[in-house]
DNA sequence: ATCCTGTTCAAACGTTCGTTTGAATCATAC
DNA sequence: GTATGATTCAAACGAACGTTTGAACAGGAT
């Protein structure tokens, strides 16, 4: 049989994953039913359970296929910078650019659904669902550890706890910006769907400004006290 | 009948609102059923529909009762600063402190459920549910408009579009920090539930650093060009 | 005692959910 | 052709959902 006559479209698995990804983004996990997914994918209702086993397993697979690539790229960008640095500590801006630049690059990819996924991911960071969160943590474990080590080396004078907090804040700013829900309708009608490439320099300025901000007095004081005691 | 013998606990409405608030935070809106709510509140299943009409109306009321107070306090803090300034433009740090300081103050209130609500609110900013988002936008309309006006006055040389973006970023960093899901388990075990009052100076340093960061080159260039053309 | 209004209660409503089933259909190898 | 394993299909499953119902109960005024 000629390849062109294969029932319809690409294989069922991919059709399901793509439909699920966009529906999860629009409606959330719980509010997206199997019937909505199989309807949009134009496959039979039973196909999800046949190919993935369960709805939860489908959710995991939606994330796994993208996150594997995303985190590989992030590590790749970090390693490229480290290779250039020849063992010297990296500049913080390079580290931040490696992590968030790759994220924003995927968020700008509207061709292959990367943008859809990043918006979904941004929402999922605040998802209460326990098994989703555990899965996210596992997928991120290595990349978080590597980037944190790089930041610790880059900022030896800043307490590690503070670096953790600021990375946390940066993750929040990025997620929110990419998810782009604009729940408060700040951009009332004006810039509803901006070109996401223009987001990159804006976000990067903001993140680096936050990262480089002077430490709060409280922290400085406690460090001064510690230094005095020594 | 003596007041102490009234069936059980305080009135049914408040019991339902409190139970719903904490369950929504833990499980999300969709995953929280009426039976879970009435079970935790120890009231009859039909009580929600009797007192509120529907589940959606209950969700709205959960937010309304807190947001009304929160946004009143935010406006109050802003007006207090404006009164001190005597018509002069406010310093950006004062404006940011008015908005986010009030938020963090509520987030630190574990006594009356304010902390629970702020974590719920942080998650809700990324909630896809349409009617929730519309409701949020309405509740925030006035306070957003007032704070934006103040920021425009405070930063007359910064393009308004840039101010909008940075406020957007700040909202993201705060929401994420307060929701505190730590999906990536950055703080693996170490600081699971930190004292939220210590969050305040850290977040404020970060936010102000981001707000005051130099504009991205792209924006500066386009402004220079515009100035040249004039 | 009687009525009235507000509230609680157990039970049921119809709908939708995720999942399972067993037969039908396909592609391929013999 | 026929057998084999993978996939699709229509139909049904039990469970859980939000909501409605009508009776039971409460306290206060007449």
Residues 6+ apart with CB under 8 A from A184: B125, B136, B137, B140, B144, B171
pLDDT digits (tens, 9 = 90+) for A36-46: 999 999 999 99
Strand D closer than 7 A to residue A6 Cβ: no
A54 Cβ contacts chain C strand, under 7 Å: yes
Q: Which residue of A has its CA nearest to B201?
A: A216
Q: From the CA of A45 to the C1' of D13: give the distance in Å.
A: 15
pLDDT, tens digit, for every residue of B117-159?
999 998 888 877 788 888 899 999 999 999 999 999 999 999 9
Whether CB of A44 is under 7 Å from strand C: the answer is no
**Residue closest to A129 by CA, chosen among B70, B31, B162:** B31
What span, in angstroms and rounded, lies between the C-alpha atoms of A106 and A56?
24
DSSP chain A: --GGGSSSSS-HHHHHHHHHHHHHHHH-STT--HHHHHHHHTS-TTHHHHHTSSHHHHHHHHHHHHHHHHHHHHHHHHHHHHHHHTTSPPPHHHHHHHHHHHHHHHHH-TTTTHHHHHHHHHHHTT---HHHHHHHHHHHHHHHHHHHHHHHHH-TTS-HHHHHHHHHHHHHHHHHHHH---TT-TT-STTTT--GGGHHHHHHHHHHHHHTSPPPHHHHHHHHHHHHH-
User: What residues does CATH 1.10.357.10 cover in chain B?
Assistant: 62-229
Q: Check whether A224 has a pLDDT greater than 50.
A: yes
A101: phi then psi, degrees, rounded to nearest 5: -65, -45
Q: Is the pLDDT of residue B43 over 90?
A: yes
Confidence category of residue A191, pLDDT binned at 50, 70, 90: low
- Whether the pLDDT of residue B7 is over 50: the answer is no
B143 contacts B75 by C-beta, under 8 angstroms = yes
**For A208-219, what is each residue's pLDDT tens digit?**
999 999 998 766
**Alpha carbon B112 to its chain's center:** 16
In CATH terms, B62-229 corresponds, of 3.20.20.70, 1.10.357.10, 1.10.260.40, 3.50.50.60, to 1.10.357.10
pLDDT at res. A127: 79
Q: Is residue A230 pLDDT above 90, yes or no?
A: no
Residue B10 has pLDDT above 70, yes or no: no
- What is the pLDDT of chain B when averaged over all its residues? 88
Asked whether residue A207 carries a pLDDT value surpassing 90, the answer given is: yes
| Percent with pLDDT over 90 in chain A | 70
Q: Which chain C nucleotides are covered by protein, judged by CB under 7 A?
A: 7-12, 16-22, 26-28
Each residue's pLDDT tens digit, A155-182: 999 999 999 999 999 999 999 888 877 7
Instruction: Note the pLDDT of residue A228.
Output: 64
Q: pLDDT confidence of B48, banded at 50, 70, 90?
A: very high
Decide if B206 and A213 are in contact by the 8 Å CB cutoff: yes
Which of B156, B146, B162, B145 has the alpha carbon at shortest distance from B218? B162
In the block, residue with structure tokens 């987001």: A199
Cβ-defined contact of B209 to A205 (cutoff 8 Å): no
**Structure confidence at residue A48 as a pLDDT band (50, 70, 90):** very high
- Rounded average pLDDT over A99-110: 93
Residue nearest to nucleotide D19 (CA to C1'): B49
List all residues 6 or more positions away from A42 whose beta carbon is below 8 Å from its beta carbon.
Answer: A8, A9, A15
The CATH 1.10.357.10 domain(s) of chain A lie at 66-229
In which band, very low, low, confident or very high, does the pLDDT at A145 lie, cut at 50, 70 and 90? very high
> Nearest CA to A203 among B146, B170, B77, B143?
B170
* pLDDT confidence tier of residue B200, bands split at 50, 70 and 90: confident
Residue A55: CB less than 7 A from any atom in strand C: yes
CATH code given to domain A7-53: 1.10.10.60
Q: Residues B207-216: what's their mean pLDDT?
A: 94
What CATH number has the domain spanning A66-229?
1.10.357.10
**Residue A129: what pLDDT?**
80
Three-state DSSP at B149 gives helix
A10 CA to C14 C1' in angstroms comes to 38
**Per CATH, domain B1-53 is 1.10.10.60:** yes
pLDDT of residue A73: 97
- List CB contacts of A159: < 8 A, sequence separation 6 or more: A219, A223
Chain B neighbors of A191, CB-CB under 8 A = 161
Q: Is strand D less than 7 A from the beta carbon of A54?
A: no
What's the token pair of residue B120?
Answer: 């719920």
Residues 37-56 of B with CB under 7 A from strand C: 43-47, 50-51
Rounded CA-CA distance A52/A68 in Å is 18
For residue A53, pLDDT beyond 90: yes
Q: What is the DSSP letter of B213?
A: S
Instruction: Compute the distance between CA of residue B175 and CA of residue B180 in angstroms, rounded to an integer.
Output: 8
pLDDT at B8 over 50: no
Q: Which residues of A155-177 are buried (b: 16+ CB within 10 A; e: fewer)?
A: beebeeebbbbbbbbbbbbbbbb
Q: Write out pLDDT tens, residues B68-100.
A: 999 999 999 999 999 999 999 999 999 999 999
Q: How far, in Å, CA of B198 to CA of A130, rounded?
A: 27
Q: In the predicted model, what is the mean pLDDT of chain A? A: 88
Phi/psi of residue A118, nearest 5 degrees: -65, -35
Helix (H) or strand (E) holding B167: helix B160-179
Which part of chain B has CATH 1.10.10.60? 1-53
Q: Is the pLDDT of residue A34 over 80?
A: yes
**DSSP reduced 3-state for B192:** coil
């Amino acid at each position: 049989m000629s390849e062109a006559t294969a029932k319809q479209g690409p294989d069922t698995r991919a059709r399901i994953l793509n439909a699920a990804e966009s529906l999860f983004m629009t409606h959330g996990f719980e509010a997206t039913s199997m019937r909505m997914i199989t309807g949009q994918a134009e496959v039979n209702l039973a196909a999800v359970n046949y190919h993935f086993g369960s709805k939860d397993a489908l959710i995991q697979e939606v994330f796994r296929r993208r996150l594997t690539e995303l985190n590989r790229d992030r590590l790749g960008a970090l390693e490229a910078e480290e290779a250039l640095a020849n063992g010297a500590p990296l500049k913080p801006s390079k580290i931040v650019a490696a992590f968030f630049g790759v994220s924003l690059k995927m968020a700008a990819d509207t061709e292959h659904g990367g943008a859809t996924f990043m918006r979904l991911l941004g929402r999922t960071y605040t998802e209460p669902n326990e098994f989703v969160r555990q899965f996210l943590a596992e997928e991120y474990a290595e990349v978080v550890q590597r980037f944190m080590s790089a930041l610790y080396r880059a900022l030896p004078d800043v307490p590690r706890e503070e670096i953790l907090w600021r990375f946390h804040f940066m993750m929040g700013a990025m997620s929110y910006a990419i998810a782009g829900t604009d729940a408060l309708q700040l951009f009332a009608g004006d810039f509803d769907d901006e070109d996401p490439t223009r987001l990159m320099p804006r976000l990067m300025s903001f993140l680096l400004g936050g990262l480089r901000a002077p430490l709060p007095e409280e922290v400085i004081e406690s460090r001064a006290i510690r230094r005095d005691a020594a």
